[in-house]
Structure 1
Amino acid sequence: MDGKDIRKIVVACDAGMGSSVMLASSLRKELRKAGVAVEHTPVNSIPGDADLVVCHAGLGARARSSAPGKPIVTFQVFLGDPAVARLVAAIKDGGEIGA
């Protein structure tokens, strides 16, 4: 999937500790000018209109079962993770997003 085709990202979480909310807020600010909506939802309630799901690596399997067929980008660190940085660059500059 090309980053320029992304219009809605869902940041999926589990524990509600706030870290994923911070990530969603950060992505929302970074991608506002690109016209990308960013939502924060529980991993078991990923909406069907999401173009892409972002979640912690520990939730990847649950996200895949909750959103079959959707590209999933997993990360290890909530802020400053290289996978998230690559995603943002692909959306802003165009480029393939590895799912």
Structure 2
Amino acid sequence: MNGKDVRKLVIACDAGMGSSVMLAGHLRKSLKKQDVTVEHTPVDAIPGDADVVVCHSGLAARARRGAADGTPVIPFDVYLGDPAVDRLVNAIKDGGEVGA
């Protein structure tokens, strides 16, 4: 999927809300000039219309099971400043492949 085609980005989390909400806010700010909705949702309730799912690497397997077939799941290890998240933001802004 090309990053320019992303319209709905979902941050999937587990029980906690703090760090992933902070990441969702950071992504909203980073992508405010793009036509992208950033949502925060539990990993077990990923909406079927998500174009991309971002989650902590410890939740990636659950996110892949809960996301629609073919939806890229981008795992990260650090909530802010993770290279995987930075690559995703750049792909959405500049075009480029969004990988799983």
Q: TM-score, normalised by structure 2?
A: 0.96
SS of equivalent to 2:31: helix
Report the AA paired with residue 32 of structure 1: K
Runs of 4+ in structure 1 displaced over 3 angstroms?
Answer: none
Partner residue in 2 for 1:12: 12
- Unmatched 5+ stretches in structure 2: none
Partner residue in 2 for 1:40: 40
Supply the distance in 1 between the matched residues of 2:43 and 2:17 (Cα, whole angstroms). Answer: 14
- Unmatched 5+ stretches in structure 1: none
Supply the distance in 2 between the matched residues of 1:8 and 1:66 (Cα, whole angstroms). Answer: 16
Q: Please show how residues 1-99 of structure 1 align to structure 2 within 5 Å.
A: 1-69=1-69, 70-99=71-100
What's the C-alpha RMSD, in Å, of the aligned pairs?
0.8
Report the AA paired with residue 82 of structure 2: D
SS of equivalent to 2:90: helix
Residue deviations 1:3-43, cap 9 Å, x none? 00000000000031400000000001111111100000000
Supply the distance in 2 between the matched residues of 1:56 and 1:68 (Cα, whole angstroms). Answer: 18
